[in-house]
Amino acid sequence: MAKGIRQKYNTNIGLSTTGIAGPEGGSIDKPVGLVYIGLSTEDREESFKFNFSISRKKNKLMFSQGALNILREYLLPL
């Protein structure tokens, strides 16, 4: 997804999230609070897996904060 975002919008960096914020929709294999965050650049593609398992509102907050933190960590050395 992150690569698709980067290519579609012709940007240097693509950032994506997908997951299950809850309160429903989870399963044993994919519990509520599970999120995958993707980062794509011209020389790097990486995915990160987290499981926050809190309320829907807090899960959504943690999903977005997690994505922005990954982006921040990527940009720091630049």
- The CATH number of residue 7's host domain is 3.90.950.20
**Model confidence over 11-60: pLDDT tens digits?**
999 999 999 999 999 999 999 999 999 999 999 999 999 998 889 999 99
Q: Are 33 and 51 in contact (CB under 8 A)?
A: yes
pLDDT at 78: 86
Q: How far apart are the C-alpha atoms of 75 and 78, rounded to whole Å?
A: 5
Strand segments, DSSP code E, in the chain are 14-19, 34-41, 44-51
Tell me the residue range of the domain where 48 lies: 2-75
Domain count, the chain: 1
